[in-house]
Each structure stands twice: as C-alpha cells, then as structure tokens.
Amino acid sequence: MSEALASSSATLPPGQLRARPRPRPAPRPVQLGTRYLGLLSAWAVAIGLSFKSEMLSPTQVWQATAGLAALTTLGLVFLHARNRTPAWMSLDHYISPVLIIIAASAFSILAPDYRVHALAMLTMGAFIFASGFVDLSRGMGRERPLHRFLRDATTFCALLALFFLILQSNDLPNVIKFSAVFVVALLSGYRSFRFATKREGLALLSAFLTAGTVTFGAFGMVTYLNQGSQYVAVILAFAWYAWQGLTVHALDDSLSRRIMFEYGLFAVICVYLIALALVTGRPIG
C-alpha cells in the first residue's frame, strides 16, 4: 500500500499539490426535524386548497399566496434557526418554497376543476417538504447523493412551471415577461450555486450570468420562433439546467468528461428543438 502511494505521488508534476477532498461537517443532533417539516408542508397544502373557493377573486388569491409564502418562509426560518443551520439567514434556503407556492397558486387560478387544483397543491406540499429536507440534512452534516437530485428536481420543476405560466400569459407585455423570466432564472440559479460555493458574491454573479443568458434566449425565441409557450418554456428550462449544471460543477471543482457529456446532451437537445422549430416554421405539437 505504501509503495502504491509513493509511486502515485511520484507521478505528480513538480510543484503541483494533490487535491484535498472537501471536508464534510460532522453530523449534529436535530432539534426540529422531518415531523415539523411535514406539519408545515401539510398546513401549506390545507391553506392552498382553499384558494379554489368561488368566494375568492384572482386578486384575492394572489394576496393569499403572498400570505402563504410569508408564513411558510417564517416557518422555515424558525426551523433552521432552532437547529442552528449554518448560514440559516441565507436566501437560498427559502427561494424554492416561495417559487413553488407561486407556481402552484398560478396553476390553481388556471385549473379547470378542483381535481387539478388539488393535485397542484399536493405537489406543492411535497416539493416544500423535499426542498426543506435537503437544506436541513445539508445543514446537519447528513448530505447524501440523493439530496442533490432532490434539490435539482424541485428547482427545475418550479422553474419550468413558472416559465410556462409567464410565457403563456397574454395580459403581460413582453418587457414584464422577460423581466419575470430573468428573476426566476436568477433566484433558481442562486440556489443551485450556493450549494457549490460559500461565497455569496460568486454565487450571485454566476446566477446573474445564467439568468442573462436564459433571458436573451427567451427574447430570441419569442421573437423569431412561431411556437407555443410550452415549447419555448421547455427549451429555456433545458438551457438553464445545462448552463447551471456545468457552472455548479466548475465551481465545485468536480467537472469531468462524463458530467460535461451529460449536461452537454441537454444543450444539444435545445439546439435540436430550436432547429426543428426554424425548419418547420409552424407550431409543433
């Protein structure tokens, strides 16, 4: 064993140090855990189910959505403060739940019947629980490989839903649409990049560049592609996922050929979908 270590170290170029693995925080006891998080998610679902009442106008639904987002955020703040989660004041712990609540409430307004509305609210509760569970486990030093998938899945689904809802709205001018796309991409990217770096400025700069790229793509596709909002939303979501994925692994110093191939595949799909829309010249699907 010692000879193998010696031979491997001898192959390093002179002056180059061996990369040290990033230390993981030791697991700590949890004051409030999954039971509290499940109760908070259940209360959010129970409140959200009342949004479909005929007594509420769309304006009142949005007001209730703001109240639900504030209550959920306060509940998560209490959870992380009680458990002394590292950097519990950072916004990345609370971005996904707020975006998920906004997306579910918008779907509830557009839902044709109560069953679709109930499904949207149940999905909202599951995503709030999954997002909070990932942050809680990471703060307690109990992060697992599955947690990164849960983080990416909840962020991506909320991003895709909001992109579709923004682009399909005929009441909003394009300036408001593109601004909303930028804000959603910025917040979602900031949450992803905070998992790769503890530097707030670097995470914010990376999120800003990602959001700017996605917004520029949204402007081009809305202007020149004769496609529906769902088609453009899928392309934008894939483009965001590919860009942020490569950037996250670059910041985390874990970028490899396999990872570049996986995220590059999403970029190839985006290019294919754009080329297909340009060639056909008519709405697809």
DSSP string, 212-279: HHHHHHHHHHHHH----HHHHHHHHHHHHHHHHHHHHHHHTT---HHHHHHHHHHHHHHHHHHHHHHH
Is position 13 within any domain? no
Length of the chain equals 285
Q: What average pLDDT does this structure show over 189-206?
A: 85
Q: How many domains are there within the chain?
A: 2
| Selection from 156, 258, 278, 149 nearest residue 214 by Cα | 156
Is position 208 within any domain? yes
Q: pLDDT tens for residues 34-82?
A: 889 999 999 999 999 988 777 778 888 899 999 999 999 999 999 888 8
Looking at the fold, whether 39 and 75 belong to one and the same domain comes out as yes
Looking at the fold, whether 192 and 282 belong to one and the same domain comes out as yes
Q: What pLDDT score was predicted for residue 155?
A: 92
Q: Measured between alpha carbons, how far is 263 from 268 in angstroms, rounded to an integer? A: 9
Angle at 277 between CA 274 and CA 278, to 5 degrees: 85
Looking at the fold, whether 127 and 44 belong to one and the same domain comes out as yes
Say yes or no to pLDDT of 109 above 80: yes
Residues 86/25, Cβ–Cβ less than 8 Å:
yes
Residue 161 burial by Cβ neighbours in a 10 Å radius (0-12, 13-18, 19+): buried
Looking at the fold, whether 248 and 196 belong to one and the same domain comes out as yes
Residues 246/238, Cβ–Cβ less than 8 Å:
no
Q: What pLDDT score was predicted for residue 161?
A: 93
Is position 163 within any domain? no
Q: What pLDDT score was predicted for residue 50?
A: 87
Say yes or no to pLDDT of 247 above 70: yes
Q: Within a 10 A sphere around the Cβ of 116, how many other Cβ atoms?
A: 14
Looking at the fold, whether 284 and 176 belong to one and the same domain comes out as yes
Looking at the fold, whether 186 and 101 belong to one and the same domain comes out as no
Q: Measured between alpha carbons, how far is 254 from 233 in angstroms, rounded to an integer? A: 29
Is position 285 within any domain? yes
Q: What pLDDT score was predicted for residue 137?
A: 82
Looking at the fold, whether 222 and 119 belong to one and the same domain comes out as no
> Which residue type occupies 239?
A
Q: What average pLDDT does this structure show over 83-110?
A: 86
Q: What pLDDT score was predicted for residue 192?
A: 87
> Which residue type occupies 209?
L
Say yes or no to pLDDT of 4 above 50: no
Task: Name the residue with tokens 């002394």.
Answer: 84
| Selection from 150, 159, 157, 156 nearest residue 132 by Cα | 150
Say yes or no to pLDDT of 6 above 70: no
Looking at the fold, whether 120 and 77 belong to one and the same domain comes out as yes
Domain boundary among 105, 124, 143: 143
Half-sphere exposure of 257 (CA within 13 A, CB side): 0
Looking at the fold, whether 107 and 35 belong to one and the same domain comes out as yes
Q: pLDDT tens for residues 268-281?
A: 999 998 888 888 76
Is position 3 within any domain? no
- Average confidence score pLDDT of the chain: 83
The confidence band for 29, taking pLDDT boundaries of 50, 70 and 90, is low
Domain span at residue 202 reads 171-285
Looking at the fold, whether 48 and 95 belong to one and the same domain comes out as yes
| Selection from 51, 102, 43, 127 nearest residue 78 by Cα | 43
Give the single-character DSSP code of 36. H
Is position 117 within any domain? yes
Is position 158 within any domain? no
Q: Measured between alpha carbons, how far is 98 from 52 in angstroms, rounded to an integer? A: 19
Looking at the fold, whether 204 and 136 belong to one and the same domain comes out as no
Is position 2 within any domain? no
Looking at the fold, whether 131 and 202 belong to one and the same domain comes out as no
Give the single-character DSSP code of 31. S
The confidence band for 90, taking pLDDT boundaries of 50, 70 and 90, is confident
